[in-house]
Structure 1
Amino acid sequence: MLWRRAVAIFIIASMLIPLSSATIVSSQIGSSFPMGISTFPLSGVYYTKEVEGVINVSSLQIGESYLPNGQPFEMGNASLQLNAMVDGLYWAQDVALICQQTSSTFNIRFVVNYWNLSGPFTLKVNNATVTSFQGLGVICYLSPSISATIPFNLSLFMLENRTGISFGYAYDNHSEIYYFIPISGSFQIGGTSKIGLPNDLELVWGGPGGGSVVSIHINALSEIFYKQGNKMVIPNETYSIGFDTGESVQGVNVNADLSHLFSPKAQEKTGADNPTVLWPIPPSISINQHNSSVNVTVYVNGKPIPDQEIEVETGFPPSPIAKALTNQDGIASFTNITSSLFVVYYPGNFTLSYSYAISSPALNSVYSSLTSYYHKLLSFLQSEEYSFKKGITSFFNDGRYVSPPSTTVNYLLLEYIVAIVVGVVISAVLVRLKT
């Protein structure tokens, strides 16, 4: 019958499609972002002379990367980028271009991209490429490589003085400034750049240049710092994505590690990309009242938060009538609270934003919806989370590594042979059924 012949042809045609094509489709399912940690304040602008990103990698597997049009790019290559704007006029990138050699060893080549957001450069620099890319001037320098073995700790940093900007890294108790560009200026955190991108500071994962996206599996802790006065400080507000680079990753889930409230970190694990505010976040507050005794519990992600000041307020406008600290179980106890309607106020700290709760459950849902600084950060994140799609795609001047082939077997040829054999067998079965 004709339908059986059509089925046979369809099956043969389906089997003849290389498995690699299916891999391309599945690897591009889902959203991708420049994942890691970034900071962008909503109130005010910070100017600093030094920025740094630190990552402690416990495990890392780098898959295939793709260009924005879906074309396969490279296998086993990714970039870890420390990016910052300079006076909103230049964009500085200190990049670790990472190539996986084995399941636990990597080659790392450090790359400088320094972008002129106003147009081409006219100056000459040593040992670097000065060119135009995407209509912007860019200086690109490729350093010699180092070898790294899991687990490893890597730091990327940029320093500014009166004569220019230095680019450096630290690995395995070795710290080195590997390039210098004679253009001075301050790193600007906050506000928008000359081309309209947010002036954030970001330590993020991305593909190996050209706006590419790469799939990785990871377990790591990361931090960013900027210099304030004579010391390096942790930003007050952070996000899990970058806003400026054009590269992105799939498969990296980032959440805040708040086990130490005043030295938080970003925890990077394998999972779905998740644009989110890392800190400050509002804690959860529960109220338990029995007669004039009130117990207030404060917790984050189900974990109690000790040593936090809690206020009970009454009246209109509310004014504090009692204060107490939470104990090791996250509970602040109050006595002689005679009113059945009162407000619990948590003033916040470095990583936890201020929060309210009302003793009346009906009113509490309304009160908790009031806009806080956390909600403002969340609103900014939601409005800018796709800004990387109009971000600057990194230019590495063919500085990437190419992973050595893991086998000499021609798997594509094997796919075709297997497809033909299976197709012939299925056709024979269908013909047999016909007779």
Structure 2
Amino acid sequence: MKKLTLLTSSLVLAASFSIFSLPAAAQDLTAADRERIEARKNAKTQLPGERVGRVITKALELYNEEKIDEAIAVLVDADPSGDFDKAFLYRFLGNIYAFKDIPQAIKYLELAVKPDVLGFNDQAAALKILADLQIQEGRFKVAIESYRRWMRFTGENDPDAYLRIANAHFQLGEYDKVVPAADNAIRFAKEPNKNHYLMKMGAFYELKRYPETVATVETMVQLFPEEKTYWIYLGNFYTLVEDYTKSLSAFQIAYSQGFLEKESEFKALGQMYANNNIPYKAATIYEKYVKSGQIKKDRTMLSAIASNFQAAREFSKAAEYYGELAKLTNEADAYRRQGMALMSVQRYPDAITAFNAALSRDADRPGSIHLNILEAYFYQGKLKEAYAALQQAKKDPSTSRQVRSWDSYIKDRAKTKGISL
């Protein structure tokens, strides 16, 4: 299964200069937490010193002229004094570095947030972009802590942050930690989000907790019934818990809605019909999409079509496809199976041709095939030919018992009819 990628460069860059609009205080905050957050929000706005202000203004002008390197040079050459001026300049420098050198951006943003002296919005923005850049650089462990630090600072239970935490745990292979993070993303989202459920589904699947995987996808198809892949996931995951009836139902719904498009999906539908003892539907689904070219006509598929028609007692169709299989593979067993299907519809001459084709290809247990030929001749009333086939069957020790019973039976019938063997 593909792992979810939840960050893009454009998202990071857009976020780097954003002003955060914060929602109402989130759930699960204590009174002390709320008081702390409100005090920080309402604190008097502090401005950088005049010298740092001039540097920032100059750098911003250069940035707006798309002279990023020059803007960075102006900021790097500055020599701010005091924790606030340093943090203010480092945040601005980190934001600009995010466009060209993410490790450097992370370095300066870490310096900016460490003293915790920036105004509420600036500190929150710096913490958030720091986490975003860390996860983009694959620094998943520190990114997890940065997102949690941002949520503690702002009081937000942000579903996107929880999703990114879940993704970081997923990338680290910590699948057991993915689920609670994904659940928090689901809990705090204003509307159902597909990515939250996909993350949870993926974690349960990797943990081999298949009943929970199924339950998650059952929720997904209820919330997002138009998503065709979710129905296919559901059908496939039901097989993991060996619930083939529900698997077939999921695939039938997907099929009726036109959601099945790939060869593997049509094959899965056919297999579910077969698993539910509906061989005729299995055979006709396979046949339809082999003829349309959406399923490759190969040995496996021809064998599946033929055997399912055989199980459905559609012997003429079974013989047709065993014949195609025989032409494709030139294998004795395919000819033998074709002969048996032809016997079932009393096409004895054609059956004999198929049986002889099997013998000419060094079939296993030739004695049993000679006995099949014997029967085909016998049911046509050709006792001499049947007796000749019996003599060939005698050469195979594995069929000695059947040969004895047929021997006396054919002789008696020939005597009654006055036929000399």
TM category, shorter = under 0.3
TM-score where L is the length of structure 2: 0.23
Q: Please say which structure displays the higher CA radius of gyration.
A: 2
TM-score where L is the length of structure 1: 0.22
Hey, which of these two has a bigger chunk of strand by percent? 1
Hey, which of these two has a bigger chunk of helix by percent? 2
